[in-house]
DNA sequence: CTGTTAGCGCGTTCAA
DNA sequence: TTGAACGCGCTAACAG
């Protein structure tokens, strides 16, 4: 069996009685005679030779790695993205490494900086909060970056975004069709990209359908998490009597579901609930959660392809892709299981 | 603002009018005069200098990276581990990269091999299936590895394991105390590490408490996932009438919950349900899911510390740590919300 | 088809 | 305190 001791091209070359460049050629698919190739492979095998990634990177400038940066590995929407991206990048010959930055913009800036040290050939990132500094860091990065999520219009970076506004419109339309009038929003922090987009979408949809809203019908969770959602929904129920609740993501939607149950309200009888992202969490919830599919899998796929193209062709024109939303109706708004 | 163009020590040195070694020293905290340090920092800042990771790695042999390999990023137990580990390794000066291997042993072997190329200073892995080849690959790896999960007794690798058998014993004891007699098991694949451990634990606990079981009371899902769990539970309900179901993880437990609801059985009235791992999914389920806490956070923490120690001291004796289980009682077995 | 050699960027000797 | 020079392991010119 291979020993996997410290070994290098020189040792292999010595053992095989050939030159280092011949070893390199054989191992990288260059042309060589049968005889030489055999000797090289034999020696390499016997020594358990594994090439040194850093040395290769230093020479070639490539790492064959792509980094996916997400704010919270616990958010099922990122899980979907990871699953999708893994396949795409692997097919293109890259290994995917996942990096969990927090919600903090500074740690995201640190990540961009850090990747400029040459840890990866490209970065897929879905920033929760976009600050001037982060934009500046991404802009001045020498590493190709594709942003998943909305970006200021003047930033010339490839990006793939969802259409939250239309998505929330779908949810409101669906709720209105069922006679709901007092539609509440359990949002995440409004200083985040999705938080602000979803609030704007909600307000615009409410107006478009001629409904009324109020400060009491809008609550903001401290984070896009289940726990924060429970708290926010509890506050909501203490100050208003909605007949429908839209959670700004599935975790917040599930939290609303649970809080309503704890408060003895029936879903969808008394209150209908809609989540966003259409993740596994929506399917697992009881009652199952109607959710706005913001195309996270499609977004991830498109972003990965964009990044791969950008790495291959740094001069390509900047692409902006918008993925249209869809509604997955489930039990929490009267749909079938 | 820093330009983050391609730059290196030489360019910085030239700009500052000093030698490269002086720049290196200043930037790495060596001794230097105030004046020189100032000039160096200024030049570095102006050029947006970022050190080249591969070059540094090649010189020092360190990457300051630790890899966590998990089988399925969608499994909430791994999410818990990622969260825990991120903090620990960061505090020790390492960056964490997460790698999602599939359940396939070969891809895990590939990962070990690949990391021997020098992508990381250490590996935390939680193998789903352990084969001879994987053991051999880990054993002959020159990279420090800590295994989270049970390992054959003769493998001299640091490892931190749960005590599934005792854990299932806790669940069975709890169910028996509530008068349940026909306790079913919805297991994951038995050729996996947790699958076989949990089956053995189940059989031993059933016997210890003087209960009966049968082939009909034991079903095996094709994977530790929600979808597979639904299918397996449906099969179970078609062939037996359990008054309690133990899911081999929380996803399988939630699946049982949902399938029971679909079949019109009440939980815990007709059937009590217990999951394993005590993840967020147990809390989010309706009714909330009683779950055996196998100490995933503690295991991850212990493993990370072990790995960091091992990297610092490769000659340290091999450690084996067992984390004791606990039971989190929730609604699905009659506990409070 | 094969071997020799330069140099990627860095940290670290050793001298001055 | 500072600078010059070497070499980590590899790939890609270039030479033969």
Q: What angle do CA B137, B143, B146 make, to 5 degrees?
A: 80
Distance from CA of A80 to the nearest CA of B (A): 8
Q: Is the CB of B112 under 7 A from strand C?
A: no
pLDDT above 90 for A52: yes
Q: Is the CB of B57 under 7 A from strand C?
A: no
The β-bridge relationship of strands B290-293 and B326-328 is antiparallel
Q: Are A143 and A299 within 8 A, CB to CB?
A: no
Query: Which pLDDT score, from 0 to 100, does residue A7 have?
Result: 85
> Which nucleotide minimizes the distance between its C1' and the CA of B20?
D3
Which protein residue lies nearest to nucleotide C5, measured between its Cα and the C1' atom? A21
| Cα–Cα distance for residue pair B24/B11, rounded to 1 Å | 12
Query: Which pLDDT score, from 0 to 100, does residue A276 have?
Result: 98
Query: Which pLDDT score, from 0 to 100, does residue A176 have?
Result: 97
> Which nucleotide minimizes the distance between its C1' and the CA of B33?
D1
CB-nearest partner of A284 from B96, B226, B262: B226
| Cα–Cα distance for residue pair B44/B238, rounded to 1 Å | 70
Q: B interface mutation test: which of A1, A3, A4, A282 has the most B CBs within 10 A?
A: A4
What are the φ/ψ torsions at residue A212 (nearest 5 degrees)?
-110, 150
Q: At A1, is the pLDDT very low, low, confident or very high (cuts 50, 70, 90)?
A: very low
Mean pLDDT (10-residue bins), chain B, 337 residues? 68 89 86 84 89 93 94 91 93 92 88 92 94 92 94 93 96 97 97 96 97 96 97 98 98 98 96 98 96 97 97 93 98 88
Query: Which pLDDT score, from 0 to 100, does residue B4 have?
Result: 53
The three-state (H, E, C) secondary structure of A106-117, written as one string: HHHHHHHHHHCC
> What is the average pLDDT across A209-237?
97
Q: Are A64 and A95 within 8 A, CB to CB?
A: yes
Q: At A285, is the pLDDT very low, low, confident or very high (cuts 50, 70, 90)?
A: very high
CB-nearest partner of B142 from A4, A79, A337: A4
User: Is B286 close to A285, i.e. CB distance below 8 A?
Assistant: yes
Distance from CA of B5 to the nearest CA of A (A): 6
Q: Work out the angle between the directed axes of helices A76-91 and A296-312 (0-180°, nearest 10).
A: 40
DSSP E strands, B56-133 = 65-70, 95-100, 122-125
Contacts with B5 (C-beta within 8 Å, 6 or more apart), sequence order: A142, B47, B48
Q: Mean pLDDT of all residues in chain A?
A: 93
Neighboring chain A residues of B254 at a CB cutoff of 8 Å: 284
pLDDT digits (tens, 9 = 90+) for A257-275: 999 999 999 999 999 999 9
Query: Which pLDDT score, from 0 to 100, does residue B1 have?
Result: 40
Distance from CA of B17 to the nearest CA of A (A): 24
What are the φ/ψ torsions at residue A149 (nearest 5 degrees)?
130, 165
CA of A22 to C1' of D13 (A): 14
Judged by DSSP in three states, A330 sits in coil
Q: Are B276 and B167 within 8 A, CB to CB?
A: yes
Phi and psi based region of residue A232 (left: phi greater than 0; alpha: psi -120 to 50; beta: remaining): alpha
pLDDT digits (tens, 9 = 90+) for A141-174: 989 999 999 999 899 999 999 999 999 999 999 9
Q: Which of residues 130-149 of A touch strand D (CB under 7 A)?
A: none
Query: Which pLDDT score, from 0 to 100, does residue B241 have?
Result: 97
**CA trace torsion A167, A168, A174, A178 (10° rounding):** 170
CB-nearest partner of A262 from B51, B117, B337: B337
Q: Which nucleotides of D are covered by protein (CB under 7 A)?
A: 1-5, 7-13
pLDDT digits (tens, 9 = 90+) for A85-133: 999 999 999 999 999 888 888 989 999 998 999 999 999 999 999 999 9
Query: Which pLDDT score, from 0 to 100, does residue B310 have?
Result: 95
Distance from CA of B104 to the nearest CA of A (A): 15
């Amino acid at each position: 069996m291979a020993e996997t001791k410290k070994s290098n091209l020189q040792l292999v070359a010595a053992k095989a009685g050939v030159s280092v460049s011949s070893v390199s050629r054989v191992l990288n698919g260059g042309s060589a005679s049968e005889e030489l190739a055999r000797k090289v492979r034999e020696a390499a095998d016997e020594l358990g030779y594994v090439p040194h990634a850093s040395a290769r990177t230093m020479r070639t400038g490539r790492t064959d790695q792509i980094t996916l940066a997400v704010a919270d590995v616990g958010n099922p929407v990122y899980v979907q993205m990871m699953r999708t991206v893994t396949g795409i990048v692997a097919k293109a010959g890259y290994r995917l490494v996942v990096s969990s930055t927090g919600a903090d913009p500074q740690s995201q800036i640190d990540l961009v900086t850090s990747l400029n040290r040459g840890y990866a050939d490209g970065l897929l990132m879905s920033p929760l909060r976009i600050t001037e500094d982060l934009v500046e860091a991404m802009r001045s990065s020498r590493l190709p970056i594709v942003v998943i999520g909305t970006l200021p219009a003047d930033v010339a970076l490839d990006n793939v975004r969802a259409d939250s506004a239309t998505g929330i419109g779908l949810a409101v339309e669906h709720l209105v069709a069922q006679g709901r009038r007092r539609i509440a929003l359990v949002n995440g922090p409004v200083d985040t990209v999705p938080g602000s987009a979803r609030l704007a979408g909600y307000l615009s949809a409410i107006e478009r359908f001629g409904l009324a809203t109020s400060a009491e019908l809008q609550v903001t969770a401290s984070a896009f998490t289940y726990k924060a959602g429970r708290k926010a929904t509890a506050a909501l129920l203490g100050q208003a009597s909605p007949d429908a609740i839209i959670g700004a993501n599935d975790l917040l939607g599930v939290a609303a579901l649970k809080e309503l149950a704890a408060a003895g309200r029936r879903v969808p009888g008394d209150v209908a609930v809609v989540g966003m992202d259409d993740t596994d969490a929506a399917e697992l919830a009881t009652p199952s959660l109607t959710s706005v599919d913001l195309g996270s899998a499609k977004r991830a796929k498109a972003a990965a392809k964009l990044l791969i193209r950008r790495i291959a062709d740094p001069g390509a024109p900047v692409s902006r892709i918008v993925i249209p939303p869809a509604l997955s109706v489930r039990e929490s708004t009267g749909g079938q299981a």
